[in-house]
Chains A and B, each alone.
Chain A
Amino acid sequence: MSSDSSSFSTLRTSAYVPGQAYNANETGQTESAPRESQSDGHDGTENSDKTQPFHQQAVLTDTELLANRVAELEKKLANTEKDNRTLRSIIFKLSAPPQPHEDDGFYIMKLNSLDVSIERFVAQSFKDATDNYLDPEYAYYIRQVLGLYRPGRALLRFLDQRVHTSISAIYSLSFPRMVLVRHIIALCLWAHVFTPICFGVSDEVNKSMAKLFDYVSAAGMILRIPNLTTRKRLHESVVLPPSHWRRTMRTSSRKNATRFPRGRLLQAPCHQPY
């Protein structure tokens, strides 16, 4: 940058001004020209036909200087463009799309381990199983718990259509009983540990956060809520269904002339944990 500005100032100072002695210290070539012309003037015989007026020689030298300078700048431009390409590739690598913190293999391994530990725990609790009678009150309680969750209700419906239907009937059979225990553990972990965005946070907050996550994922961009100025309105928008947001975004897109990908939004999965 500094070399460019100095060169530019040189160019400006080296410009020819009629009626003034031309003095460009940078090249030396321009200094020698007037002296040469002066010596020619003293001889007056040998190069008298080649002798040119002082101002014409200065203009020619200036043109050469400019040509040199242009060539130099063109070279710099080429180098800068090359650097830009390199920098762009580095920036592209740095701003790669967000990836999971861990590899898929890490999560698969952890999930397998959890599954195996549940299976082992249940199997250990079923050693020397002798009792075949279940108190009807307990059976009713288990049905109530299963009825709280969507997959649990599906199991109850399924059992109602099959031969070994009741919880008491399952209790008398070792393998189905183990399966039922594992199913109940999985249900509780799914509903209360894995489905919420954040474990331990209230259902309302989790549902709102889930909607936000779905919205951002579907849009494939950073969330922008138009026309929100107050905290109250922001809170309202968080609890509003995504359909309202789609309407808002469509309305605002007409104003701001930005198109929102409607098709992608419609394919967004919706969290319905229970």
Chain B
Amino acid sequence: MRQDSLVGGSSKRLVINRIEKTIAPLLPIQKNIKPGIQRIVETAVELSHRLTSEKAIFTCEMIASGEEERENYTSVPEDGQPGGIVYACVFPLFGKRVMVGPEGNETLQTVPLRAASVIYEREIEQSIEY
């Protein structure tokens, strides 16, 4: 299995197939998986096309499992309590590149635009206890 196997004329179909093939065994209800994934991928691709002209401004990153909660970079838990350690990132972080600093001494920095949606280890433990 190669990671660059998703290139070619029908990239969208290949992405849909990969997601479908991977998550299908995990889903209890196997009905209408493909249309659902298709809708998600099409929405994402449309948004990506909009971002294409502004790629130099926007960035996309995943938060790695095991990292600590970071304000503005990771989502706030629903119960409002401190998150702690990230279990899994379920939606990537989007950042924006801007020049920051006094005039003449600006530096290029990436500031968070939309925090990544993450599930914390604490939430997983709570769900298991419940």
Instruction: Select A203's contact among B7, B60, B90, beta carbons within 8 Å.
Output: B7
Q: Which residues of B contact A127 (CB under 8 A)?
A: 28-29
> Are B91 and A126 neighbours in the complex by a CB distance under 8 Å?
no
Given A114-B44, A185-B19, residue A150 in contact with residue B26 (CB < 8 A):
no
**Cα distance, A142 to B58, chains bound together (Å):** 30
Given A151-B65, A218-B108, residue A125 in contact with residue B36 (CB < 8 A):
yes
A228, CB-defined interface residue at 8 Å: no
Number of interface residues of B (CB under 8 A): 71
Given A126-B27, A188-B18, A267-B108, residue A114 in contact with residue B88 (CB < 8 A):
no
Q: Which residues of B contact A198 (CB under 8 A)?
A: 52
Q: Which residues of B contact A183 (CB under 8 A)?
A: 88-90
> Are B40 and A185 neighbours in the complex by a CB distance under 8 Å?
yes
> Are A217 and B65 neighbours in the complex by a CB distance under 8 Å?
no
A110, CB-defined interface residue at 8 Å: yes
Instruction: Select B87's contact among A110, A111, A158, A218, beta carbons within 8 Å.
Output: A158
> Are A115 and B66 neighbours in the complex by a CB distance under 8 Å?
no
A71, CB-defined interface residue at 8 Å: no
Q: Which residues of B contact A186 (CB under 8 A)?
A: 62, 89-92, 117
> Are A179 and B65 neighbours in the complex by a CB distance under 8 Å?
no
> Are B88 and A188 neighbours in the complex by a CB distance under 8 Å?
no
> Are A134 and B60 neighbours in the complex by a CB distance under 8 Å?
no
**Cα distance, A79 to B82, chains bound together (Å):** 64
Q: How many A-B residue pairs have CB under 8 A?
A: 221
> Are B4 and A203 neighbours in the complex by a CB distance under 8 Å?
yes
A49, CB-defined interface residue at 8 Å: no
> Are A217 and B56 neighbours in the complex by a CB distance under 8 Å?
yes
A43, CB-defined interface residue at 8 Å: no
A15, CB-defined interface residue at 8 Å: no
> Are B110 and A187 neighbours in the complex by a CB distance under 8 Å?
no
> Are A263 and B128 neighbours in the complex by a CB distance under 8 Å?
no
> Are A121 and B50 neighbours in the complex by a CB distance under 8 Å?
no
A192, CB-defined interface residue at 8 Å: yes
Instruction: Select A121's contact among B4, B25, B40, beta carbons within 8 Å.
Output: B40
**In this complex, which of B29, B33, B57, B88 has the most chain A Cβ atoms within 10 angstroms of its Cβ?**
B88
Q: Which residues of B contact A121 (CB under 8 A)?
A: 36-37, 39-40
Q: In the complex, how many angstroms separate the beta carbon of B21 from the nearest chain A beta carbon?
A: 8
Instruction: Select B28's contact among A118, A129, A151, beta carbons within 8 Å.
Output: A129
Q: In the complex, how many angstroms separate the beta carbon of B78 from the nearest chain A beta carbon?
A: 12
Q: Which residues of A contact B44 (CB under 8 A)?
A: 114, 189, 193-194
Given A114-B43, A269-B59, residue A126 in contact with residue B3 (CB < 8 A):
no
Instruction: Select B23's contact among A161, A175, A184, beta carbons within 8 Å.
Output: A184
Q: In the complex, how many angstroms separate the beta carbon of B40 from the nearest chain A beta carbon?
A: 6
Q: Which residues of B contact A131 (CB under 8 A)?
A: 28
Given A175-B124, A190-B60, residue A185 in contact with residue B23 (CB < 8 A):
yes
Interface positions of B from 1 to 54, Cβ below 8 Å from A:
1, 3-4, 6-7, 9, 11-12, 15, 18-19, 22-23, 25-29, 33, 36-37, 39-41, 43-45, 47-54
Q: Which residues of A contact B29 (CB under 8 A)?
A: 124-129
> Are B124 and A179 neighbours in the complex by a CB distance under 8 Å?
yes
Known: A125-B27, A192-B6. 16 other contacts (CB 8 A): A114-B40, A118-B40, A129-B29, A131-B28, A141-B22, A150-B64, A154-B64, A159-B65, A175-B127, A189-B92, A192-B18, A194-B48, A199-B52, A203-B4, A217-B108, A269-B97
Which A residues lie at the B interface, using CB under 8 A? 100-102, 104, 107-108, 110-115, 117-119, 121-122, 124-131, 134-135, 138, 141-142, 144-145, 148-151, 154-155, 157-159, 161-162, 164, 171, 173-177, 179-203, 210, 213, 216-218, 220, 263-264, 267-269, 274
